[in-house]
Amino acid sequence: MTMLASIDFTGIAMNMMSQLGYWGMTLGLVLDSFGIPIPSEVLLMVGGALSATGRFNPVAVFILGTLAQLVGGLIGYAIGRYGGEPILERYGKYVLISHRDLKRTHVAFEKYGNWMTAVGRCVPFIRGLIAYPAGVAKMNISKFIIFTTLGSAIWTALFVYLGYILGNNLDVVNGWLHKLTLLVVLAIVAWIVWHFREHLPRIRKN
């Protein structure tokens, strides 16, 4: 986690977008949206900052940013839907994921899938992974598209606006985002520890 905190995400995003323009931002957002750790918030803030200088168009940044995240989400959804469940049924026991866990995933997405998808798109780290369980649970594709677009649009608008008004002071928000990301990672690690503690006794008994 110390290594994560030391990465200059703003510098990386600046270089990517200086070299490739809109394509650099779009590619980074697609990758981030199916789990490759490229911070979308930094790309969007840099897009907003470049819009303030006239190099980018803020409307284009918003539209491309939202669509890129939808495309990445659909890739993650397809992987989860057509490959995720068979793999987890066969190999999930090795990471203590049982058939009961898969059934719970289906039930959770049947009840709360719309808002889990939309809200998940607005949480660092989680946002790049939420499409996979949606695919595994075979969430209705139309609803997945609608709520992924909704969450992505909110996320995009927020960080493009922050970048636009902060301009050259992006490092302030970048530092805050490092801390928020670390908190999310710690929460995920805590959940993984809890998951193994809960399931190991049952696995050993069986």
**pLDDT above 90: residue 9:** no
pLDDT at 95 over 50: no
Instruction: Give the tens place of pLDDT for each residue, 110-152.
Output: 777 788 888 888 877 778 778 888 888 888 999 999 999 999 9
Of 2 and 178, the one with more pLDDT:
178
Q: Phi then psi for 124, rounded to 5 degrees?
A: -55, 145
Find which of 98-102, 126-130, 174-178, 193-197 is predicted with most confidence, using mean pLDDT. Answer: 126-130
Q: Is 139 left (phi over 0), alpha (psi -120 to 50) or beta?
A: beta
pLDDT band at 32 (very low <50, low <70, confident <90, very high): confident
Write out the two tokens for 101.
């866990």
Q: What is the pLDDT of residue 64?
A: 95
Between 151 and 87, whose confidence is greater? 151
Report how far residue 9's alpha carbon sits from residue 12's, in angstroms, rounded to the nearest whole number.
5
SS3 readout for 100-164: HHHHHHHHHHHHHHHHHHHHHCCCCCHHHCCHHHHHHCCCCHHHHHHHHHHHHHHHHHHHHHHHH
Examine the pLDDT at 103 and tell me if it is beyond 80.
no
- Mean pLDDT for 56-68 is 94
**Cα–Cα distance, 91 to 39 (Å, whole number):** 30
Distances (CA, A) of 162 to 17, 70, 159, 166: 17, 21, 5, 6
Q: Please, what is the average pLDDT of the chain? A: 75
- How many other C-beta atoms are found inside a 10 Å radius of the C-beta of residue 159? 24
pLDDT band for position 184 (50/70/90)? low
pTM of structure: 0.75
Structure confidence at residue 61 (pLDDT): 94
Length in residues, the chain:
206
Given pLDDT bands bounded at 50, 70 and 90, which one contains residue 154?
very high
pLDDT, residue 157, reads: 95
How confident is the model over 144-161, as a mean pLDDT? 94
Give the span between the Cα atoms of 50 and 167, in whole angstroms. 8
Sorting pLDDT into bands at 50, 70 and 90, what band is 6?
Answer: very low
The token pair at 73 is 């989400």
pLDDT-derived band at 196 (thresholds 50, 70, 90) equals low
Which residue is associated with the tokens 């075979």?
138
- Cβ proximity of 154 and 61 under 8 Å: no
